[in-house]
Copies of this chain bind each other. A is one copy, B any other.
Amino acid sequence: MNSENIPYITIQALNRLPYYLQYLKTAKKNNIKYISAAVMASDLNLNEVQVRKDISAVCTTKGKPKIGFIVDELIDNIEDYLGYNNSMEAVLVGAGNRGKFLLADDKFEKYGLNIAAAFDIDESIVGSTICGRQVFHLGKLKNLCERMHIHIGIIAVPEEAAQNVCNLLVSCGISSIWNFALIKLSVPGSVFVQNENLFASLSAFSQHIRKNNVTSKIL
């Protein structure tokens, strides 16, 4: 599938794809060859029509009445869509607590994001190797980005430093930024920023627990 043909789907649908993929791979391991949208929906606690719509938006394979979808083809199609076979090179700024888990979890690489190198200014980290990636001083960022033609940057520094790091990345030719700091970055119009909020889900979790007074109910 070339990138011109990738249809845009909603963020919500995109969020469901990793669950479909994990589910289908488990099914495959259990030697299941065919699967219906109804079964997937029920196992994943989703609406049946939603599953069918998501599949038809992302997959070229068609389901067959009475049979369903071919598990192998669904897996291939979703992996294609998510870019498994289309790895992107990125640099990570901030190799402290926030950034380290990006280097550690190999799922990120499987999802098509390959972190070429990490950068920091903390002398106690600079020069070390984390999960096979070297940590360089921030001063070396420009040289490496240009030499390796990297145009994706990940910001995993404290909020106070994020805008400055962002400016530096932009000056190094970075055109897409994945931002883990909780601020709205100012960037030129040509630069794309995707914000990540690690605390969103924690807030929802906390709210539910407090609301239901879970602790005091149990005690």
Contact = CB atoms under 8 A, between A and B. Distances in A.
Interface in A193-219: 194, 196-215, 217-219
Nearest to A99: B101
Contact of A149 (B152, B183, B219): B219
Contacts of A53: none
Contacts of A105: 97-98, 198
A44 to B, nearest CB: 5
A107 interface: yes
A214 B6 contact: no
Please state the number of chain copies in the assembly.
2
Interface string A1-20: 00110101101001101110
23 contacts: A3-B211, A3-B213, A11-B204, A14-B203, A15-B204, A23-B184, A44-B184, A45-B184, A88-B210, A97-B104, A98-B104, A100-B101, A105-B198, A113-B205, A151-B214, A173-B218, A175-B217, A175-B218, A176-B208, A178-B202, A178-B205, A192-B209, A192-B214
